[in-house]
Amino acid sequence: MDQEEETLTETLGPQPEDVATSSKYQEELEEFLQSRYASRIDSLATHYPEEKSLIIDYNELDEYNPEVAEMLIKDPYRIITLAKKALEAQKPMMSLERTFKPNVRFKNLPDEYEFSIKDLNSSLINKLVAFEGTVKKITEVKPKLVKAIFECVHCNKIHQIKQNYKDNKLGKPSKCIACNRKSFELLEEDSEFLDTQKVEFQEPIENMRGKEQAKPITAWIQDDLTNILTPGDKVGITGVLRIAESKKKGSIYNKYVDINHLYKKQTEFEDLELTEEDIEEVKKLSNDPLIYERIVGSIAPSIYGYPNIKEAIALQLFGGTQGKEKPDGMHIRPDIHILLIGDPGTAKSQLLQYVEGLSPKGIYVSGKSSSAAGLTATAEKDEFGEEGWTLKAGALVLAAGGMALVDELDKIGKEDRSSLHQAMESQRISVAKAGIVTTFKANAAILAAANPKYGRFDKYELPAEQFNIPPTLMSRFDLMFPVKDEPNREKDRALAKHILITHRVAGTRAIGRKLEAEKEEEEKRTLPDIDPDLLRKYISYSRRHIRPVLTDEAEERIRDFYIDLRKVGESQDSVPITARQLETIIRLSEASAKGRLSDKVEIEDAERAIRLQKTCMQEVGVDPETGKFDIDIIATGSSKSKMNRMKTVIRIIKDLNKEYDEAGYEAIKDEAKEKGIEKEELGDILKDLKKNGDVYTPAYGVYKPTEE
Ligand code: ADP
Ligand code: MG
């Protein structure tokens, strides 16, 4: 760590006043430690080496000796080294026999030394800085050589060489100072190794505004700070900003941080900083009788229509009651997952991107462009890890405690699909690869969009058959909305008008002019009702403080809805609703209560949740043939009536095989027709049966059941 300092002193030679000030600083540090940290040093000495660091509060040092504190910022290596010496100097009092070489770490730097990652520029090089970061990548822990002991193979002279841990080159003596020759042997037992880990941090999403790109920075962790972090962790850091020569580009230097102290922060997006005035404003807003309409009116106002989708998204932003557990300790997911499925060019992507900006912590990813690491999490061998393993966090992990906006869900790869599956229900992602087994927190609410397999939505087909998404994944979504682009003169005119106004507003603003008075009313409709900044704070506050509970009336209303619908199912021989949808309704009604900062779920909240759930089910959970609710459409990808007809066809094939030892297409067709299944549909059913492996064709036009 102090190699740089050493080389500097070597080249310049010790400056007399430096030596003098250094010993003065060391004395002052010794006094400081004795007066403020004596008992903690005692305890450290007792527990060393299980405990290896003394953590000093910057404010205390600043209070005791502002000059040394200032020097710590300006010349951190020097002061940290002196502080270590000062600490080691306490050793005689503790009559310790063994080596006592603890780290000295500094926490709580004042705000003026706290930067965002993108502001860590070259003026701060070799200074002590503080910043916040989310772990994006982290390598496994490796022992790095810090002090190498070499023996000259000719004359056995011992040389001690401090290593530069940031590159992989072994620092060797250039020649033997005794015999001038150049062959050495590394004495590993006598050399000193230190655990190190390389990390890439990125700006926490909740700290960014608008469409900024999250800036990364590489950092090194050592000794007792290793093995603490996993990808997705949000961390507060104190460290020294350094530069290293880039391996590839000659004169370009890479920045990195040598970490002195770190601590984990909460990763929830609720910790958006709110001032007293903010809270007052938030509370005032919650008393508006039209608060609900106003929130919905603030979701992507530039996008025309979709009142139900916007309402669902509003609820999703608040989420259900957090921190609930079943009596047996099972965690209950509070996040609401929503899927938009439908025609291209219907503003799905736009909607997702808007919500990314509105959510206090939101990440947008597209299934088309994202690799496995992009969406969930992976372990890889790569350059960053210098041939070792690197754990990488994808969007779901980075968005933990917030929202993940997943576009083109139908295009994501198999591997991601299965971790997405896991993340949506258990809110974790596990990676098991070559001896690495880790679990990442991935409690993000998911708003996803998907396009149909054949370009356009066909309302006569079942949704599960039109999307490249397995039904098991599909059924993990609380709400599913088909987004259809059907020509409708009135709607088309209104949409065109809306889009044109949006463009005109944007255009006049771009050239700094104001709109004519009569257009102002129209302009309003394309602007958010509540300022996005305030809404973000409002959501944040609600998520942090409001934990609504169902009232008796609301509970009764939900129960009745569920039981009534199940009863209908009984009489029509289908399953219209399952416990999953019941949980969705509970989550939605809790979110609705949170929307007005109420800790009681009232009957109106239950009604709203039921209405939304019903609208969705009417659109996607209805068998197009019978017009009845049938949850199997979502859960298994096939309606009861279709399943029944598939069963009929299998029966026919089995019977024909039993009787004639063969089922030819013509015979199947005749039998099927008798049972009311037409030729076209029979073709589809046979295809499905083959795909599912229920039947196979040993010869052209001949069908056999896979099991008798
Ligand atoms: P998708 O992702 O559904 O294929 P996009 O989000 O890319 O569609 O939208 C295509 C374009 O059409 C966007 O520029 C969007 O603004 C516009 N658009 C489509 N529907 C609407 C709407 N209802 N209101 C406003 N703009 C719309
Ligand atoms: Mg799109």
Residue 5: predicted pLDDT = 38
Pairwise CA distance, residues 218 & 167, whole Å: 13
Nearest atom in ligand 1 to the alpha carbon of residue 306 is 23
Higher-confidence residue: 97 or 101? 101
Which residues lie near ion ligand 2 (Cβ < 5 Å)?
Answer: 349
Question: Tokens 């290593």 — which residue?
Answer: 163
DSSP 8-state code for residue 637: S
The residue that leads in pLDDT, 361 or 374, is 361
Cβ contact 555:330 at 8 Å: no
Question: What's the distance, Cα to Cα, between the start and end of the chain in Å?
Answer: 74
> What are 538's two structure tokens?
């409002």
The CB of 176 under 6 Å from ligand 1? The reply is no
* Non-local CB neighbours of 402 within 8 Å, separated by 6+ positions: 205, 206, 268, 269, 359, 360, 361, 362, 363, 444, 445
Of the pLDDT bands very low, low, confident and very high (cuts 50, 70, 90), residue 369 is: low
- By the 10 Å C-beta count (0-12 exposed, 13-18 middle, 19+ buried), 404 is classed as buried
User: In this model, does residue 319 exceed pLDDT 50?
Assistant: yes
Protein residue with least CA distance to atom 9, ligand 1:
347
For 225-244, give one letter per residue: b (16+ CB within 10 A) or e: bbeebbbbbbbbbbbbbbee
E strand residue ranges, 563-618: 600-601
238 lines ligand 1 (CB under 6 A): no
Judge if the beta carbon of residue 304 lies within 6 A of ligand 1: yes
The minimum-distance atom of ligand 1 relative to the CA of 343 is 3
Most confident of 323-332, 334-343, 653-662: 334-343
Is 526's C-beta closer than 6 angstroms to any atom of ligand 1?
no
Calculate mean pLDDT across residues 541-552.
Answer: 92
Cβ of 345 closer than 6 Å to ligand 1, yes or no, is: yes
Average pLDDT of the chain to the nearest whole number? 83
Distances (CA, A) of 74 to 77, 124, 155: 9, 9, 44
Contact in structure between 336 and 445 (CB atoms under 8 Å): yes
Ligand nearest to the CA of 343: 1
Identify which of 204, 213, 264, 266 has the alpha carbon closest to the alpha carbon of residue 543: 266
Per-residue pLDDT, 211: 61
> How far apart are the C-alpha atoms of 156 and 150, rounded to whole Å?
9
Place 418 in a pLDDT band, splitting at 50, 70 and 90: confident
How far away, in angstroms, is 304 Cα from ligand 1 center? 9
pLDDT at 633: 59
Is residue 142 a contact partner of residue 263, using CB atoms and an 8 Å limit?
Answer: no
* Atom number of ligand 1 nearest to Cα 407: 2
Amino acid 8: pLDDT: 38
The CB of 348 under 6 Å from ligand 1? The reply is yes
In order of their start, the domains of the chain are: 5-112 (3.30.1640.10), 129-268 (2.40.50.140), 294-302+325-491 (3.40.50.300), 640-705 (1.10.10.10)
Q: Distance between CA 381 and CA 372 in Å, rounded?
A: 14
346 close to ligand 1 (CB < 6 Angstrom): yes
**506-522 mean pLDDT:** 67
Ligand 2 centroid vs 243 CA: distance in angstroms? 41
CA separation, residue 288 to residues 226, 292, 591 (Å): 50, 9, 17
- Check if 457 has its Cβ closer than 6 Å to any atom of ligand 1: no
Q: Alpha-carbon distance 420 to 428, whole Å?
A: 9
Nearest ligand to the C-alpha atom of residue 306: 1
Any idea which of 1-5, 376-380, 437-441, 490-494 has the lowest mean pLDDT?
Answer: 1-5
Residue nearest ligand 1's atom 21 by CA? 347
Distance (angstroms) between ligand 2 centre and the Cα of 369 equals: 12
Q: Whose CA is nearest to atom 13 of ligand 1?
A: 347
pLDDT at position 504 over 80: no
Cis peptide before 173 (omega within 30 of 0): no
Residue 350 Cβ < 6 Å to ligand 1: yes
* Whole-angstrom distance, CA of residue 158 vs CA of residue 148: 10
Residue 349 Cβ contacting ligand 1 at under 6 Å: yes
- Asked if 116 and 188 count as a contact pair (C-beta separation under 8 A), the reply is no
Q: How confident is the model at residue 7 (pLDDT cuts 50, 70, 90)?
A: very low
Give this prediction's pTM: 0.74
Distance 499 CA to ligand 1 centre (A): 9
pLDDT, tens digit (0-9, with 9 covering 90-100), for 55-84: 999 999 999 999 999 999 999 999 999 999
DSSP 234: E
Query: CB of 455 closer than 6 A to ligand 1?
Result: no
Give the pLDDT mean for 564-589: 78
Residues 21, 25, 30, 36: what is their CA dihedral angle, to the nearest 10 degrees? 160
Distance 485 CA to ligand 2 centre (A): 13
Split at pLDDT 50, 70, 90, the class of 2 is very low
Q: What is the mean pLDDT of residues 462-476?
A: 74
* Contact assessment for residue 259 and residue 223, using Cβ atoms and an 8 Å cutoff: no
Ligand 2 geometric centre to CA of 269 (Å): 26
171 contact partners, CB below 8 Å, separation of at least 6: 148, 161, 162, 163, 164
Of 236-240, 368-372, 452-456, 473-477, minimum mean pLDDT range: 368-372
The alpha carbons of the chain give a radius of gyration, in whole angstroms, of 33
Q: 309: Cβ below 6 Å to ligand 1?
A: no
Task: Report how far residue 52's alpha carbon sits from residue 92's, in angstroms, rounded to the nearest whole number.
Answer: 18
Ligand 2 center from residue 355 Cα (angstroms): 14
Q: Which residues pair with 392 in a beta bridge?
A: 137, 378
Tally Cβ neighbours within 10 Å of residue 539: 24
> What is the 84 CA–ligand 2 centroid distance (Å)?
57
Distance 368 CA to ligand 2 centre (A): 10
Question: Are the C-beta atoms of residues 346 and 483 closer than 8 Å to each other?
Answer: yes
Q: How far apart are CA 11 and CA 19, in angstroms?
A: 15
Q: Which of 114-123, 566-575, 629-638 is least confident?
A: 629-638
Which is nearest to 258 in space by CA: 593, 445, 2?
Answer: 2
Cα–Cα distance measured from residue 595 to residue 588, given in angstroms and rounded to the nearest whole number: 10
> Does pLDDT of 181 surpass 70?
yes
* Residues whose CB falls within 8 Å of the CB of residue 271, separated by 6 or more in sequence, listed in order: 206, 265, 540, 544
What is d(CA 294, CA 413) in angstroms, rounded to the nearest whole number? 39
Mean pLDDT value across residues 181-190: 85
Report d(CA 389, CA 122) in Å as an integer: 30
How far does residue 351's CA lie from ligand 2's centre (Å)?
A: 9
**Residue type (1 letter), 40:** R
**Percent of the chain scored above 70 by pLDDT?**
83
The percentage of the chain sitting over the pLDDT mark of 90, rounded to a whole number, equals 31
| Residue 596 pLDDT | 94
* C-beta 303 within 6 A of ligand 1: yes
CA of 348 to the centre of ligand 1 (A): 6
Q: Tell me if 347 CB under 6 Å of ligand 1.
A: yes
584-628, pLDDT tens digit by residue?
Answer: 999 999 999 999 999 999 999 999 999 998 888 777 666 656 666
* Ligand 1 centroid distance, CA of 323 (Å): 37
Residue 571 alpha carbon to ligand 2 centre in Å: 41
- State the burial class of residue 357 (Cβ atoms within 10 Å of its Cβ: 0-12, 13-18, 19+): middle
What is the token pair recorded at 293?
A: 């309409």
| pLDDT exceeds 80 at position 167 | no
Q: Which of 303, 346, 481 best tests ligand 1's pocket when mutated (most atoms within 8 Å of CB)? A: 346
Residue pLDDT, tens place only, 646-690: 888 888 898 888 888 888 898 899 888 888 888 888 888 888 888
Closest ligand 1 atom to Cα of 350: 6
